[in-house]
Amino acid sequence: MEKIVNKLYKLKETSPDLMIKKIKVNLFSYLYVASFETITSSDKINDFILKYISSKRIINTKKDIKNFIPSINYVDINKDETINYLLNGFTIIIYKNEVIAFETRADLDRGIASPQSEPSLRGPKEAFIENYQKNIGLIRKRIKSEKLIIDELNIGNKSKTKIGIIYLKNNNLASKVKEKINNINIDSIVDINYIKDFIDKDNHTLFPTVLYTEKADDAARFLLNNRVILISENSPSIAVLPTYFMDYFISSEDFYHKKFFSSFMRFIRFMAFILSITLPSFFISIINYDPEMIPFPLLINFSSQRINSPFPLIIEAFLLMITFELLYEGDSKTPEGRGTSLSVLGALVLGESSVKAGLISPIMVIVVSISSIASLIFTYHDIQGVIRFYRYFLMIISSLFGIIGLIIGIELLLLDISSITLFNKPYISSNLSLIKKEDK
Partner 1 sequence: MKKLLIILIILLLPGCYNYKELKDLSIVYSFSIDKKENEYILYVNTIKPGEEKNKIITNTGKGKTIMASARNINNSLDLNLLNSNLEYVLISKEIIKNDLNEVIDYLSRDTRLPFNFLIVTTDDNIDTINNYLTKTSLENLLKISSNKNGYTYLLDFKTLLHNYLSKEKETVYPTVNIEKDKITIGNLIYFNNKEEIKLSKEEALSFNIISNNIKNNLITIKCGNKYFSLEALKSKSKIKNNNLKTYIETKLVSYECDYDLNNINTIKLLENLASKEIKDNLYYTINNMKKDYIATKIKNIETNIKITKEGTLRGDLL
Q: Nearest to residue 22, comparing CAs of 43, 64, 50?
A: 50
Cα 145 versus chain centre, distance = 26
9's CB contacts (< 8 A; 6+ apart) are 20
Q: What one-character DSSP code corresponds to residue 40?
A: B
Query: Which residue number, 208 or 405, has a Cβ lying nearer to partner 1?
Result: 405
Residue 89's CB: how many other CB atoms inside 10 A? 19
Q: Least distance (Å) from partner 1 to the CB of residue 295?
A: 8
Query: Which residue number, 149 or 299, has a Cβ lying nearer to partner 1?
Result: 299
Distance, CA of 160 to CA of 11 (rounded, Å): 20
Distance, CA of 352 to CA of 361 (rounded, Å): 10
Q: Least distance (Å) from partner 1 to the CB of residue 353?
A: 21
Residue 65's CB: how many other CB atoms inside 10 A? 23
* Interface ranges with partner 1 (CB under 8 A): 287-292, 295-296, 299-304, 306-309, 312-313, 400-402, 404-405, 408
Query: Which residue number, 154 or 304, has a Cβ lying nearer to partner 1?
Result: 304
Q: Least distance (Å) from partner 1 to the CB of residue 209?
A: 24
Residue 312's CB: how many other CB atoms inside 10 A? 12
Residue 21's CB: how many other CB atoms inside 10 A? 16
**HSE-up of 97 (CA within 13 Å, CB side)?**
0
Calculate ∠ Cα 110-113-117, nearest 5°.
110
Q: Least distance (Å) from partner 1 to the CB of residue 408?
A: 6
Distance, CA of 157 to CA of 175 (rounded, Å): 22
Q: Least distance (Å) from partner 1 to the CB of residue 356?
A: 16
Residue 137's CB: how many other CB atoms inside 10 A? 13
Q: Least distance (Å) from partner 1 to the CB of residue 365?
A: 16
Query: Which residue number, 235 or 285, has a Cβ lying nearer to partner 1?
Result: 285
Rounded-to-10 torsion of CA 280, 286, 287, 291: -160
Query: Which residue number, 27 or 307, has a Cβ lying nearer to partner 1?
Result: 307
Query: Which residue number, 223 or 317, has a Cβ lying nearer to partner 1?
Result: 317
Distance, CA of 322 to CA of 320 (rounded, Å): 5
Q: Least distance (Å) from partner 1 to the CB of residue 204?
A: 15
Query: Which residue number, 213 or 398, has a Cβ lying nearer to partner 1?
Result: 398
Q: Least distance (Å) from partner 1 to the CB of residue 312?
A: 7
Query: Which residue number, 236 or 409, has a Cβ lying nearer to partner 1?
Result: 409
